[in-house]
Amino acid sequence: MKKLVVGNWKLHGSRAFNAELIQGLLAADLAATAPRADVAVCPPFVYLGEVVSALSGSAIGVGSQDVSAQAQGAFTGEVAAPMVRELGARYAIVGHSERRSYHGETDQVVADKAKAALAAGLIPIVCVGETLAERESGSTEAVVGRQLKAVIDLLGAQLVDIVVAYEPVWAIGTGKTASPEQAQAVHAFLRAQLVSAQAAAAGVPLLYGGSVKPDNAAQLFAQADINGGLIGGAALKAADFVAIARAA
């Protein structure tokens, strides 16, 4: 399975910053230097069109950091999946832990967003993950299993068209990283859950997200069920993000 490396810029960026970062990514010629990995970046909504245009013709895809579960209507402030697709994006992150935590998104809302993304022709990157308290209480599998089950139950045959990202909340932006063995154990559990629901879902890419850096990327990506990464802070530095893509 080809690796997938996705950079989540979160609430960062400006036209000047974006231009410099993109220049660094294009100069790396990832199609030639990281041929075994698909690469994408997810900028804030307001820069989506500009980033798509700047990366046009390159090997780097573009995604959104979220989409609405609604296709249209009286939903002020929301951005619909068809709008994102019309701008040229290919992916949409749904269910990021920051959306679940800060915006109260439930497992069902995340599943609805994944379905809306698919309906618009986007590939949803469905995020699951546990907090430190949940890990320490031995609830990791129960938590991520519940989060993924909502998506499995809603999508049915479309399950094969998603990407899943495991992002332990305790390792996001903290500098802490799950060991390769810890990450692999959860990825293996998720893989088994997907295959149990639908045999063809064995081909669903599983990404690891949580303080991935150039110095730990290769070891993480070498695990049997880790098919790439959802990269946060390191995606804001061209040299680091390029190094991670090449490690894949």
Task: Report helix, strand or coil for 181.
Answer: helix
Q: Give the side-chain half-sphere CA count within 13 A for 108.
A: 0
Q: Please confirm, yes or no, whether 103 is among the known catalytic residues.
A: no
Q: With helix as H, strand as E and coil as C, how does 90-104 read?
A: CEEEECCHHHHHHCC
**Residue partners of 182: CB distance under 8 A and separation at least 6:** none
Q: Please confirm, yes or no, whether 98 is among the known catalytic residues.
A: no
- Check: CB of residue 83 under 8 Å from CB of residue 124: no
Selecting among 96, 98, 105, 187, the annotated active-site residue is: 96
Only one residue has tokens 């040299």, namely 239
Q: Which one, of 132, 88, 96, lies nearest residue 113 by Cα?
A: 96
For residue 223, give the H/E element and its range.
none
For residue 196, give the H/E element and its range.
helix 180-197
Selecting among 98, 130, 167, 187, the annotated active-site residue is: 167
Q: Within a 10 A sphere around the Cβ of 156, how many other Cβ atoms?
A: 10
Q: What is the DSSP letter of 200?
A: G
- Check: CB of residue 80 under 8 Å from CB of residue 72: yes
Provide the annotated active-site residues: 96, 167
